[in-house]
Amino acid sequence: MFHVKQGRDVTRILSVVNQKGGVGKTTTAVNLAAALAMAERLTLLVDLDPQGNATAGIIPDRSGLGIPTLYEVLLDATPTEAACRPTPLPYLMLLPGSPDLVGAEVELVEVSGREGRLRHSRRLQVLRGGPRNR
């Protein structure tokens, strides 16, 4: 899933989903996010996979990522901006996945409104104001 800033105050949310594995969801999401960023569209790629392959596709050396990740956004109410990471592309930010996401569904089972946690955490100030200065 990723967010694309379109013009002044319009944001599009695109999701690449399929129940079946091995159909190219991660490859499609990473390449589409990179293409949008190259077209100077402010883009946030959200890696919802515990394997973190989208994260690895954008930032190959994940050893220095640390926390917070998407897991902390969903379970610890960490602000989205705190978990977003810059990437080599100035218009692309990454909200990295984590192996901890494997247990997130179980941990959220009794949480009211769990299906909307990511949507409600999206205080995406990170996409405002254009690309990062490098």
- The architecture in CATH of the region 2-127 reads 3-Layer(aba) Sandwich (3.40)
* Domain parsing of the chain, residue ranges: 2-127
SS (HEC) of the chain:
CEEEEECCCEEEEECCCCCCCCCCHHHHHHHHHHHHHHCCCCEEEECCCCCCHHHHHHCCCHHHCCCCCHHHHHHCCCCHHHHCEECCCCCEEEECCCHHHHHHHHHCCCCCCHHHHHHHHCCCHHHCCCCCCC
pLDDT digits (tens, 9 = 90+) for 27-70: 999 999 999 999 999 999 999 999 999 999 999 888 888 899 99
Give the global pTM: 0.82
